[in-house]
Structure 1
Amino acid sequence: MKVSGSGRERRERLNALREAALHRPVLARHLSDGFNGRWSRRQWVQASLFATLGMLVAAIVPGFGPGTDVRPLHVARHSMALTLPPLPLARIRGENGDSWQLVRVSRGQTLGSVFQQLDIPAATMQRILQHPGSKEVLTRLKPGTELGFDLPVQAGKAGELRTFRFDRDDSHRVELSLAGDKIVEKVIVRPTESRTVVISGEVGKSLYRSARKLGLNGGHIDTLTDEIFKYDIDFNEDVGAKDRFSVVVEQTWREGELIRTGPVLAATFTTGAKLHTGFRFERNGKPEYFTGEGRPLKKSFIRMPIPYARLTSGFGTRRHPVLGRTRMHKGVDYAAGTGTPIMAAGDARVKFVGWKGGYGRAVMLDHGRGYTTLYGHMSRFGKFKAGQRIAQGSVIGYVGSSGMSTGPHLHYEFQVNGVHRNPLSITMPPAEPLSGTALAQFRSQTRVALARIEKVEDIIYADVSPAPSKLVAAAKPARTAKNRG
């Protein structure tokens, strides 16, 4: 039997494929038992399994599949139509309330300058000032005062003020609507809240800077240094960085905003291990500061009516520079430039104002209890008149060279029951302390203030000596056999 060429070639190809399959590690042991040109069922199942595995690998492992294209997953989005609130008719028509402009008054600014800045006619301002209760407030504007102007936004109506608002006081806001020739007033009540707080801190590098950071203003700091502790603490020499202070003040809040801080009600200052205290109390309708025992912190007299002046002539016998003869010099002379302010040495009633012979322009003050002072050679007087009561430190005049004088200076005399005394050496009378009902009221107030300070300092200065818990004991007056009962 002859085999054709084509059959022979096919047989040779099958034998070659069989040999190649026998050398494969996976299939060799299954096909080594001989191959007769036809695959068994088992071989077809195994081949299908390997083909399936290959396809799975190509599909799962990146890079095996042809032209792998990874696209982001698209998330279905939904939209919802919401109805917007309609514009108010006032805004559509350009009526009242569509354009409030707020202005805070600057230092030195007047109501007229504010109206001019907004191009509002002066006649409109005069109408507002003529409205009852407006002039008293608007002619005494303080820096920071807020004013509101409702002006139209439509073209051609610039300067047409429709509503003007201002604060009559802390609790009431006034809105004035200008409708034709009429002004309609609306008063809005704005409730306020008062809080008594304690502000406490250390002096640090600067008392002023530390106190300002804590919320005290310049007036509060001046009260500490120039009124309460002026006579007991030298703030240039005695105060260190670790010294501490506490101040009690009353704050006024409105709608969550601090709008005003009142005067210092009480204060403590610790220098080293020494505690100083001061408390505000009104005596005869006038606020003063007292020690814990009820003694005034302010001395009855200041020795120098001119700060930082130079003494040129003392008290006693001397040769008069103008008359040229020896005579008694009944006062002391302080040299200063013309126009330097002269202060009243103590609380007093003005006894004399005018020209007084060789003294030139002079002022005499009656301090009560037999004490009087005289100030001579002034260039001009302060704003007061005879019979008027003035406080210690008030400016009563200005240095000059009127009368018998060789140059600008102040001649200052101090008399006790009509007898001239040396103001530089005399023992000044102590200020009159509180007594009776006033003292009892004062002590009840000081206990409350000290308790507040003590509570705050117990928290802030828990590890500092002296212990803050000793504040009340340090400020309480010593009990004597007379007042124990």
Structure 2
Amino acid sequence: MTASDSGTERRQRLKAKREAALHRPVLTRQISEGFTGRWSRRQWAHASLFATLGVLVAAIVPGFGPSANPQPVHTQRSSLALSLPPLPIARLKGHSGDSWQIVRVERGQTLGSVFENLDLPASTMHRILDESGDKALLTRLKPGTELAFDLPANGELRTFRYDRDESQRVELSIAGDKITEKVIVRPTEKRTVVISGKVGKSLFHSARKLGLSGSNINTLTDEIFKYDIDFNEDVAASDRFSVVVEQTWREGELIKSGPVLAATFTTGGKLHTGFRFERNGKAEYFTGDGRPLKKSFIRMPIPYARLTSGFGARRHPVLGRMRMHKGVDYAARTGTPIMAAGDARVKSAGWMGGYGNAVVLDHGRGYTTLYGHMSRIGKIKAGQRIAQGTVIGYVGSTGMSTGPHLHYEFRVNGAHRNPLSITMPPPEPLSGVALAQFRAQTSVALARIQQVENIIYADAGEASPATAKVKKPAKNKA
């Protein structure tokens, strides 16, 4: 073989290898053919990518770690005994007072349900009721009443505690078949305070924030100023109010607010006042000169009703002929409550022919009112004295009626008058000794209101409305 032949064969083998290399995967071909002793940027990028993927896989999957079959590592463990804190001696010996549980009664809860929730036997409760002198109090629990139970480690009731009244707390200690009562006196303090502020966005929220109770606020809106102020339309955010109330405090806690003793309300630049005073044993509210704030009669004795027939001649809807209509008719749903137009004595209550179920009230001084076509009469009877606003019956369609409504008549000395246009008689003002007592009482309350308002509004440069607007009542000449 010549040298030329051997060279030819070598070239053919190299050619065959190149052709085989051309059929390899692209990455392999690039690495094998493109490698010139130094890696290109592309090759470094590919190598970094594969290295990163490898590290991630090894970190996530334990089997890819450096030790595929790791040998168990035996670590030496030691334990340390810690002593628990000792129980109090009182608890070990079962002394009372070691574990009081306080329960506040929720609406609808009874003493029996409270005992059941604490897994206490009903027999224990009945023993307490039999031994206690407050059985009526404990069987008629009010929402918010606080009860306390001393339950030692064994779970048996040792002491039961409750408040008999504002100043007396009762503890009943149970030891076997014996129950011992202990009364703890808790002193209370009465404070007469003045609460003053502005209406703001809401009279109710502003007054509650200042400390007035919901009952006090209702007295302002539904009793004292009901006849003179429309609280839906007339009141602005800048209007002011001041209220004098008596509060009961115990151990630094306000536990009760008494009735409103005096109040002022300034709206639209006009000052309204109201003072509480007892006349003939009944509390009422009067203006500064001793005139009752409550009107003698409510113009409309039924709420949320519409007038369907006025006073005067009309064609009777049942008889079909012209006839004098001696009252006014208010249409309302059956069962709507009907109120007494004023303080009165019940003259009659029962069936009255064409009036159906009806009530007649005698208000004195020759004034009477009649309420007809009731579905049923309220819890009243002839001869009974009732207050203005008392529910005397419910709307119906009894007697000569074509639908549910109230027929209301107003009479003066037996003569029928139009209740919508008649001038209602003014209530009787205070006089004589009662007026003198009222003045002495109101002067103190008004002075306190003026003092508080002068302090509150001094920074604003505003004069106290109570000081600026209230006129001193004229001296009684009687």
Provide TM-score, normalisation by structure 1. Answer: 0.77
Q: Which residue of 2 aligns with 1:93?
A: 93
Structure 2 counterpart of 1:244, which letter? Answer: R
Structure 1 counterpart of 2:162, which letter? Answer: F
Q: Which residue of 2 aligns with 1:143?
A: 143
In the alignment, the residues of structure 2 paired with residue 192 and residue 265 of structure 1 have an alpha-carbon distance, to the nearest angstrom, of: 20
SS in 1 for 2:403: coil
Shift, 1:470, TM fit:
5.2
Structure 2 counterpart of 1:431, which letter? Answer: P
1:342-361 maps to which residues of 2 (within 5 A)? 342-361=338-357
Q: Which residue of 2 aligns with 1:121?
A: 121
- Would you say how many aligned residue pairs link Structure 1 and Structure 2? 394
Question: Do residues 304 (structure 1) and 303 (structure 2) align?
Answer: no
Q: Deviations over 1:187-208 (max 9, x none)?
A: 0000001111111111111111
Q: Which residue of 2 aligns with 1:197?
A: 193
Shift, 1:473, TM fit:
6.5
Q: Deviations over 1:264-284 (max 9, x none)?
A: 111000113211100111111
Q: Which residue of 1 aligns with 2:51?
A: none
Rg comparison, structure with higher value: 1
Q: Which residue of 2 aligns with 1:398?
A: 394
SS in 1 for 2:115: helix
Q: Deviations over 1:215-271 (max 9, x none)?
A: 112211111111111111111222111110001111111111111111111100011
In the alignment, the residues of structure 2 paired with residue 177 and residue 434 of structure 1 have an alpha-carbon distance, to the nearest angstrom, of: 55
In the alignment, the residues of structure 1 paired with residue 392 and residue 471 of structure 2 have an alpha-carbon distance, to the nearest angstrom, of: 36
In the alignment, the residues of structure 1 paired with residue 423 and residue 115 of structure 2 have an alpha-carbon distance, to the nearest angstrom, of: 59
Of 274, 279, 287, the match for 2:275: 279
Q: Deviations over 1:154-180 (max 9, x none)?
A: 2xx4xx322111111111101111223
In the alignment, the residues of structure 1 paired with residue 472 and residue 108 of structure 2 have an alpha-carbon distance, to the nearest angstrom, of: 46
Structure 2 counterpart of 1:378, which letter? Answer: M
Provide TM-score, normalisation by structure 2. Answer: 0.79
Given that 1:200 and 1:457 are in contact with CA atoms closer than 8 Å, whether structure 2 keeps it comes out as yes
Of 412, 427, 430, the match for 1:434: 430
Extract unaligned runs of 5+ from structure 2. 1-85
CA RMSD of aligned residues (A): 2.0
In the alignment, the residues of structure 2 paired with residue 438 and residue 449 of structure 1 have an alpha-carbon distance, to the nearest angstrom, of: 17
Given that 1:279 and 1:289 are in contact with CA atoms closer than 8 Å, whether structure 2 keeps it comes out as yes
Structure 1 counterpart of 2:203, which letter? Answer: L
1:40-189 maps to which residues of 2 (within 5 A)? 89-154=89-154, 157=155, 160-189=156-185
Shift, 1:465, TM fit:
7.7
Structure 1 counterpart of 2:98, which letter? Answer: D
Shift, 1:108, TM fit:
2.6
Q: Deviations over 1:392-440 (max 9, x none)?
A: 1111111111111111101111111111111111111111111122111
SS in 1 for 2:426: coil
In the alignment, the residues of structure 1 paired with residue 216 and residue 143 of structure 2 have an alpha-carbon distance, to the nearest angstrom, of: 18
Shift, 1:447, TM fit:
0.7
Given that 2:449 and 2:466 are in contact with CA atoms closer than 8 Å, whether structure 1 keeps it comes out as no
Question: Do residues 267 (structure 1) and 263 (structure 2) align?
Answer: yes
Extract unaligned runs of 5+ from structure 1. 1-85
Structure 1 counterpart of 2:99, which letter? Answer: S
Given that 1:128 and 1:134 are in contact with CA atoms closer than 8 Å, whether structure 2 keeps it comes out as no
Moved more, 212-221 or 408-417: 212-221
Question: Do residues 218 (structure 1) and 209 (structure 2) align?
Answer: no
In the alignment, the residues of structure 2 paired with residue 169 and residue 241 of structure 1 have an alpha-carbon distance, to the nearest angstrom, of: 40
**Percent of aligned pairs with the same amino acid:** 80
Q: Is the alpha carbon distance of 1:465 and 1:424 closer, same or farther for their aligned partners in structure 2, counting shifts above 3 Å? A: farther
Given that 1:377 and 1:409 are in contact with CA atoms closer than 8 Å, whether structure 2 keeps it comes out as yes
1:15-54 maps to which residues of 2 (within 5 A)? none
SS in 2 for 1:265: strand
Given that 1:111 and 1:141 are in contact with CA atoms closer than 8 Å, whether structure 2 keeps it comes out as yes
Q: Is the alpha carbon distance of 1:465 and 1:142 closer, same or farther for their aligned partners in structure 2, counting shifts above 3 Å? A: farther
Q: Deviations over 1:49-81 (max 9, x none)?
A: xxxxxxxxxxxxxxxxxxxxxxxxxxxxxxxxx
Shift, 1:129, TM fit:
2.2
Moved more, 287-296 or 122-131: 122-131
